[in-house]
Structure formats: C-alpha cells, structure tokens
Structure 1
Amino acid sequence: MNIHKNARLTPQGRALLVQRVLEEGLRPTEAAQAAGVSPRTVYKWLARFRDEGEVGLRDRSSRPHASPRATAEPVRAQIIERRRQRQTYRQIAQALNLGHSTVARLLQREGLNRLGALAPGRPDNRYEHAAPGDLLHLDIKKLGRFVRPGHRITGERQRKSRGAGWEYVHVAIDDHSRVAFSTIYPDETGQSACRALLAAVRYYAHLGIHFKQVLTDNGACYQSRRFARLCQRLGLTHRRTRPYSPRTNGKAERFIQTALREWAYARAYASSDQREQHLSAWLHQYNWHRPHASLDYQPPISRLGFSVNNLMRLHT
C-alpha cells in the first residue's frame, strides 16, 4: 500500500489508537495527544471501527461515489470508436459537442492518446536461411577506450580517460547457425571494414563455412568502393538493410546486445586493452557452450554438424 510520507497514522497506527481507547481506557483527547492527531480524527476511526471492524481502518479510495457530470458511457464509446477511425481530438470534440480537454483526458486514460497506439503491430520479422554460409550479417558497435575503470564501475564521472578515444567492434554472425565472430579496429572506415570481413571469412572457412551473401546496414564504410571490390573478389553478393530499419539485421543487433551485457560490461576491466583480450575467450564461450534460445537452447556450433573428431580438433 502506498502510504503518504507525512501520514501520521497507518492502518496499524489506527488499530493501536482504537485499542488504547476501547481496551486501555484512554480518553479520546489523551489518545489523540499521544498519537499526534486531533480528537476529531480519533472519533472518526472509532466510528469506523464500530461500524465495519478492522476493515474500516484501511485506506479508502478518494474517488466519489457518484459523478453526475461524468461522460456518459454511450458518449465514451463514441469517442473511442471515432478515435479508432483515426480522428483527431478536435474532430471528435466538434462532432460530439465536447470539450477538447474532456476528449484528451478520456483517450489518455484509454491509452489511445497517440496515433501510434492505433496502428496494428508490425508482423514478426523472423527468418532463417536454410544452411550455414547462405548469409553473413555484419555490423559495427562503437565502444569508448579507457585506461582506468569508468563511471559504470566507480560511479565517479569526474575522472575520465582523456584522449583515449574510441574503438570499433566489427561484428559478424552466420544467419543459420548463429556462430559469431568479432574483431576490434580503431575506426569504422572502409579499410577496417574490409579487414574485418577478411578476418571473418578466414574464421568461418576454418569451420567449413563459405558464404554466398553478406548483409550490412547503410554505413559509409559498407558503401565504399573498397568494400564493394572486396565483396566482388570474394564472390559475395552484397545486400543492404532498408534505411532506419535495424530489425532487418536483427541477428547482428541482438548479438551486439548480448556481447555488451556478457562481455563488454560484464566485469570491471582495468583498461580497454584488457577488455579486448577477453573478447576471444568470450566468443569461444558464446559459440561452443552458451545455450541459444532460438536453437532449442543448444550452442550455435551444434548447427554445423561436426563429427566427434572434427569437434575435438576445432575445439582445442
């Protein structure tokens, strides 16, 4: 129960007040003085206790029993119906001869004050390619460099790693298996994007995966001629997401969230260099051991169908 911070009496305090008067024999004025309230308050709680028992000592709603000037239910239904037809506040108020504030207050109470609430939800954008190598998702996450633990750990915003700059985690994830790979570079230029793509292709080739397509957002590095030439040389069809639609590249976006929670911000690193050193170990944990909800809680590597001998060779 939400008790006001300045309240003199809680339900327990009211019960004690009644007990002092009815059982201990204190006069109402004496009980009021002991509780720091007025005698009128004591008489009020005594009357409620006699009429309703302990239930009468609980807080009651401040809503009136009757509201003669409240909006009638048929009018309320018309307001909601017109709003679902995407009419504005002014149109509804003029059509029903109501005040603008009345319409706004009722629609806000119903959760229909924003037109976005009227639009149907977008359908799920879940898709999965049939085999490893059909599609490679690429994305980049910008992280701050630091030479001492930052405010996320210490809580102090005065001490900063001045001049440390930024570093960029280039993320790659196979659409079918969810096997992920990441490298860190000092920028997000076309050259770094190309180096990251080459490193990812070599890593996945070690697992026997050879890609046909690559999916990226519309970042400048992915639109560079250097990146286009590399995709052509590797035989990769380059696809781009629709502008302002990160859900199209959702597997990479979701992997970045997991990486931030379980690697980048999971512990207190002494510096960003130490954080980078832990990336490969975390990626191994993610690919080989961490259960994945969309894979029936099996690790991503289980999708590649390795034999026991291959599994032992690649796992060591």
Structure 2
Amino acid sequence: MSKFRALVVNKTEDSFTLNVQELSMEDLPEGEVTIRVAYSSVNYKDGLACSPNGKIVRSYPFVPGIDLSGTVVSSADSRFKEGDEVIVTSYELGVSHFGGFSEYARVPAKWVVPLPKGLTLKEAMALGTAGFTAALSVQRLEENGLLPDQGKVIVTGATGGVGSTAVSMLAKRGYHVVASTGKSSEHGYLEQLGAKEIIGRDEVSDTSRPLQKELWAGAVDPVGGNTLAYLLSTTKYGGGVAVSGLTGGADLHTTVFPFILRGVNLFGIDSVYCPMETRLKLWERMGSDLKPEGLLDSIGYEIGLSELPDTVAKILKGAVRGRTIVAL
C-alpha cells in the first residue's frame, strides 16, 4: 500500500491542527521493522501530544500514539519476519518518533516485543503502556515482599488506565483492593473490576501530619502530589508505594519520617526506558497471571481513527475511564 491514513498533529506560530490525513510509506521515519498497525490505545501522554501546549511532541508535523500492536510487513532485522505479530510501546514512540495512530508504522527493531502467548493484538492494546505501568507497579511491590495476607492495597486514580488495570490485576492475585476515585458514578465499575472498597478522592488528600494511622500494605499511585504525600504517611511499616504519574501535581511535600520511622519504600515506576529483559518477562506475565479478568469487556472499549480527536481531549479532562482501544 502506497497511501494510508494517520492522525497528524501540526503546530506553527499561527495555528494548531489535529486531523486524519493521508500519508505515504515515504513519510514514515527510519527503522528496521515496518508494521501494519492493527490497534493502538489512548494514554494521558497522547492527550498531551495532541494539545497545543502539551510539551510532548518535539517536532511537527507529527503522528502521535505511544502504543501499537500489529503485524510485521517487512524487517531488516533477523529476529522479526513478515507475518509476525508484535507490540511496540514506550521508548520514543509517539514522542519524537511517529507513533501508533497510523495504519502503518516503522520502528527500530530494538523497540519491538513479540506478542506473548495469552494475548491477542487487541487485548495487548487494552493493556498497552497503562497496563504495563500497572504491572510494573504490582511486580515492584511484590518484589518488596507484598503478599495478600498483609492487608489492604490502595489504588489511586482508580478509573484511569493505570488505575483500572492495577485494580483488576491485584484483585486477580487475591489482594483486598481499595480503589480511590473522585467519580461517585463509577463505583459499580470499580466493583466489577474487583475492588473490595471504594473511597473518595477527598479521603486521600490529608497531609496535615507526617505520620498518620497505618492503613495500607501497599499502594499503586498514578496521581502523585498531595495524594502521594498522604499515602507515604499512611502506609504500614515496611510497605511500599509505587508512583507512576503526576495527574495530581508534580510537587511532593512530605518529610523523612515515613522512611526512617516506618521503613516505608517509595518506588518510582518508569515504563518508557524499562530494560528489554524486564519488559519481555512482564509482557509474558500480562498474558498469564497478571492478565485482568474480562479485559475487553470491563476495561477496554473500541473507537476508530476518526473518533480520536474527541477522545484525546477527554482524557486530559479525566473524562475517560479504563482503556480506549483504537482500531486501525
């Protein structure tokens, strides 16, 4: 195919545009592997990339989309051949390198992950970067010794992409999950994912004291800001908090007391430059013991390329729940 469709964002001194355009194979950037994209997904970073002041895209015109899954159509790398089903997430995809909101993509071979057993191309994008981040968070907490019999595990921003998948993953592994959300209308959704308790956003914002009652054996936090400070002050002795986002703010105002008096551990979760060895093993787990129950029925819903502009605007407003899958 010489022509194909893609979502293109462009910015000049005088204008900003976001629309579906027709591109050619010559428009794609350099890379060893060319992929016919089957699915992508919508992440918070994609919302930023599709806004005029998002400070994500480094040069224009540009094709966003930090996730993609599809089939190899050509490869200059012997590890991949025509017909292979693959996943690409993270690295520079959708940031400085044309991304997944396109019917075709060309990427460096070192970014490519073979589709693991237990996942379809669509299910892989129902997980995507958000699901991978959730899985990294769960794995890091368990490496710290977290077990289901140690007490409650809280997930903040629970209706978002990372939060939804984390709730479901933890519930599947037998944890008593407490979901925090500012959306009272979504309690049924979170219960469906496996949350045992649901609390309001206002209940995880008290930062008046550096140490408060010990409540959580562990925490998955894609929110940051005051929420993270609260979690540190309420996590049990030796417990951990895995932080992966900043929708609640980039600043952290806390003290050393949770760390030196309770041995609380703060784990930074980076899905972008996670080593490939870890990435491959974790994707295998995401197709098995960390695969959410009813992934496509409960967490993911599908849109087409033409619906993307509206959806990326909604995700920045917190108006999207779960995972949005883009069918290419």
TM tier, smaller: under 0.3
TM-score (norm 2): 0.23
Higher percent of residues as strand: 2
TM-score (norm 1): 0.24
Higher relative contact order (CA 8 A, sep 6+): 2
Q: Which has more radius of gyration?
A: 1
Higher percent of residues as helix: 1
